[in-house]
Chain A
Amino acid sequence: MNPTESTFSAQHDALAPATLGRRNWSSIFRNQGVLMLMSIPFLVHLLVFRYGPIFGWVMAFQRYRPGRGFLDQEWVGLLQFQTLFADATFYRVLRNTLAMSAIKLVMGTFFAILVAILINETRNRPFKRTVQTISYLPHFISWVVAANLVLEVLGPRGILNDMLVGLGLTQERVLWMGRPELFWWIIGWSHVWKTAGFGAIIYLAAMTSIDPQLYEAADIDGAGRLQRIWHITLPGIKPVFVILLILNIGQLMEAGFEQQYLMQNSLVMDYSEVFTIYVLRYGLQLQRYSFAAAAGIFRSAVSIALILGANTVAKRLGQETLM
């Protein structure tokens, strides 16, 4: 069902760690030496490249200056965190991040499920396949390309302005990308455009595993299309929905910085700046390394708290969970 589940179920296998003490280490090395040579170098690589940066978190408690070792720095305690929590920009960035994440989560999930239901309700196979094939396409292109397409569609000479002016709905062409109050929604809709089709796959897979007898029984009882969707299809995809929701809640602090970075301009900066961009701006551009590291730690800590919290709530509610 999910990666963690299969990892931890391994503990029930025959050679669980409990039996290790009784085994002879020299025979283990003789029999499993090749396995060790095949895996431990990559483990070391992972520890350096993925766990190494976590040790760099000490710099958030320092006034870090490059060129000296990590331990040869001035220690400042929680000063960087105090500065962070006193920074007005920080709260604006937090608001933008959470708002855009929430918009993307709600809109993305809604449209993925809607597309899945409509495809699932389609009997005509060639039509179904064509729609599916086309709907996946945006998933595979980069956000750089997608942001260009968005800019073109919403541009002064783009289709949206052409249509609105052509239909007489607006007098003048609108500079959509320069409107701060619209930026969150442009992010939301472009997210839907890029992900709804591919996101539907997983819900479709869940729908195909629903027992067809349930639908037959509903037909006999005289249920209509909408009633069948409401009472059979939606409950059938609930476990997948919950797991994806938990995973996405863990991503709330991320908000998909690429998208914002590529579509923002200084007119909308107050609404477009999200956490990763904030860290980038203070850290690498303004060279306030320790401050930016503290902001990064805050982000990671909240993410972990969110995913654990969501998991606990789901467990309380008797839902299938991640861990």
Chain B
Amino acid sequence: MKATREDLTFDTLKVLFLLGLVVVTLYPFINVLAVSLNDPMDTIRGGITVWPRQFSIVSYQDALSGQNMVVAARNSVARTVVSAIVQTFATAMVAYTLSRREYVFRIPIAIIYVITMYVDGGLIPTYFLYRSLGMVNSFHVYWLPGLTTAFNMLIIRTYIRGLSDSFIESAKIEGANDFWIFMRIILPLCVPVLATIILFTSVWQWNYWWDTFIFNSSRVNLTTLQYELMKRLASANAAMSGTSMADAFSRALDQAGNQVTPRSIRAAMTIIVSLPIIMVYPFLQRYFVHGLTIGGVKG
């Protein structure tokens, strides 16, 4: 097939658009990295794009020297690990029971799960209920409310249904109970889908800040990295209010006596908070796309 003029125009525009997409996607990350590694006082002069002009790690030193950051990092890691393991295990267990065709409560339970995908109680009633359950100012609010979720449960159940029944049948004949079958037969066979769900849960947990904000904001020892960054962002937003451009600049210059600026610390914190995600990104990429396909769940 010969290339027509339409093909040529189309291909040129296509490549330009996709290259533009790549640049627009990557530039903000590279820019913030450059700002975080540039001397904060020099950054005020502007013009930092993809490379630091005066290399300095003072922003990172300052960001990490705050006591909250160590506590926050510990809590972020803890909530991610605990939730990824406990929630995935619990969700897989429910998914297994609902995959057993003979189970009498299979349909009612499935319906009760599916409804939660569309209806929620709203912020205020949820807040009061969680408070009466001791979820306020408590680490438990990070992992307990979302113990099992409909979406993940349906993905795992679909996967289990795709497995051969013969293992289960022969184990049953030998008198194995369902818990044993789940632990010894189903879990090992589900490793691919469980890996997907663990990554799913981990990313969500790592990125979530709303629960810290609503339930745990008055306890410094329960803070998380996302919440610390969110607080910095909120004060940057507050500083913008009631100002003109000139004020914004003069404020930046007022800080010239200090060694660091809020903007540089924010840049350093942004990189610190995103680093774990970037590091696991190759896995995420593979398993997420895979997960979307195996679950057959779209949306």
Contacts and interface: CB of A to CB of B under 8 A. Distances in A.
Looking at B103, B125, B238, B284, which has the most chain A CB atoms within 10 Å of its CB?
B125
Interface residues of B, number: 114
A59 B125 contact: yes
A311 to B, nearest CB: 11
Given A42-B148, A46-B113, A46-B148, A296 B124 contact: yes
B187 interface: no
B94 interface: yes
A258 B230 CA distance: 11
A317 interface: no
Contacts of A243: 298-299
B55 interface: no
A217 interface: no
Nearest to B44: A157
Given A7-B111, A149-B32, A264-B237, A159 B49 contact: yes
B122 A140 contact: no
Interface in B52-111: 90, 93-94, 96-98, 100-107, 109-111
Contacts of A26: none
A71 interface: no
B299 A149 contact: no
A: interface residue count bin = 35 or more
A40 to B, nearest CB: 8
B223 interface: no
A153 B31 contact: yes
Given A3-B151, A175-B245, A263-B237, A50 B116 contact: yes
Interface string A228-255: 0000000000001001100100100000
Contacts of A17: 107
Interface in B253-299: 263, 266-267, 270, 273-274, 277-278, 281, 284-285, 288-289, 292-293, 296-299
B147 interface: yes
B112 A46 contact: yes
Interface of B: 1, 4, 6-7, 10, 14, 17-18, 21-22, 24-29, 31-32, 35, 43-44, 46-49, 90, 93-94, 96-98, 100-107, 109-114, 116-129, 133, 144-145, 147-148, 150-151, 154, 158, 177-179, 182, 203, 206-210, 214, 226, 229-230, 233-234, 236-238, 240-245, 248-249, 263, 266-267, 270, 273-274, 277-278, 281, 284-285, 288-289, 292-293, 296-299
Interface of A: 1-4, 6-7, 10-11, 13-15, 17, 20, 23, 28, 31-32, 34-40, 42-43, 45-57, 59, 66, 114-115, 118-119, 121-122, 127, 130-131, 133-138, 140-145, 147-153, 155-157, 159, 162, 172-175, 177-178, 193, 196-197, 201-202, 205, 219, 224-226, 240, 243-244, 247, 250, 258, 262-267, 276, 279-280, 283-284, 289, 292-293, 296-297, 299-300, 303-304, 307
